[in-house]
Amino acid sequence: MSVSVSANEVADAPQEARERTILGLTADAWLRILMPLAIGVIALGGWEWAVRANGVPSYILPGPIEVGQTLVRDWHTLSISLWITLQITFAALFVAALLGLALAVLFAQSRVIELSLFPYAVILQVTPVVAIAPLIIIWVDDIRIALLICAWIVAFFPILSNTTLGLNSADHNLQDLFRLYRASRWQVLMRLRLPTAMPYFLGGLRISGGLALIGAIVAEFVAGTGGRASGLAYRILESGYNLQIPRMFAALVLISLTGIAIFLAMTLVSHLALRHWHESAMKERR
């Protein structure tokens, strides 16, 4: 014998909002893209005009067009540096994600471990990376490993603290349910605590992506290493010494674009992972 669900009960279910789209995007999405773009164009135009109208020399302030030209002309050198900075950033982010998650799981298993180790994670976080970078660079022979460690120190904490919070946020009734069915610690971790922590972890990853880039750049500044295998920060230092200000701006633009790209990539990852169920990944409804 079975029962059936009534039409009004089904009709009560939330419906996906259907909005009119223009070229595959909603009017709202277009607004979100076009408005910042318009502001950017106006600002760049104003900058170019100000530089030309006042005859500002390019070793003081180059206009955006000259910066763009430099970016294209020096692309070979800059792209090598960009690649190096990116490698350090992503290696640091990867290690931070892995270790952050692993430590958070460890903390979640034992309150004693959490209480004894968490303060050290905080100390690592509050110590300015600029201040410890010289030490790390002295201690670690391989400069790239040293840079990676610096970037990791900066990127690690948000993932650890967010994931720890997430692992401890499992719904109480669900915890009772798992207990009722005599779930093992492992089952509770895999089926309840980790899924609960997922949005928190991804939120941490989004913050850490940008921080890893900053950490890598700061460490490069401190290291100040020259030669072929040097990142974007060294290009900025070098341009400063040589008064190649347009090139300095070009490197700066690349760093900003990289930061934006990392943020967007992490946002996309987060959206893809959570789109089925989490509020943060849902379209706004009005």
Partner 1 sequence: MLAGVKAGPPVVTLDGVVKRYANGTLAVQGVDMAIGQGDFVSLLGPSGCGKSTVLRMVAGLIAPTAGRIGMAAGGEATGDVGFVFQEPTLMPWSNTLKNVMLPLRLAGMNRGEAADRAAAALAEVGLKGFEKAYPRALSGGMKMRVSIARALVTKPRLLLMDEPFAALDEITRHRLNNDLLTLWQAERFTAIFVTHSVFESVYLSRRIVVMAARPGRVVEDIEVNAAYPRGEVFRTSAEYAAHCREVSDALHRAMGE
- Interface residue with partner 1, options 41, 130, 177, 257 (CB under 8 A): 177
Q: Which is nearer to partner 1, 8 or 54 (CB)?
A: 8
Task: Establish if 280 lies at the interface with partner 1 (CB under 8 A).
Answer: no
Q: How far is the CB of 285 from partner 1 (least distance, A)?
A: 12
Establish if 183 lies at the interface with partner 1 (CB under 8 A): yes
Q: Does 198 bind partner 1 (CB under 8 A)?
A: yes
Looking at beta carbons, which pairs linking 220-229 to residues 24 or more positions away fall under 8 Å?
A: 220/85, 220/88, 220/147, 221/130, 222/130, 222/133, 222/134, 222/137, 222/150, 223/133, 223/137, 223/143, 223/146, 223/147, 225/143, 228/80, 229/84, 229/144
144 near partner 1 (CB under 8 A):
no
**124 near partner 1, judged by CB under 8 A:** no
Listed in sequence order, the residues at least 6 apart from 247 whose beta carbon sits closer than 8 Å to its beta carbon are: 70, 74, 78, 235, 239
171 binds partner 1 (CB under 8 A): yes
Stretch binding partner 1 (CB under 8 A), from 127-135, 156-164, 258-266, 274-282: 274-282
With respect to partner 1, which residue has the nearer C-beta, 137 or 205?
205
Binding flag, residue 185, partner 1 (CB under 8 A)? no
d(CA 251, CA 242): 14
Is the CB of 32 or the CB of 179 nearer to partner 1? 179
Answer yes or no: are the C-beta atoms of 158 and 211 closer than 8 Å: yes
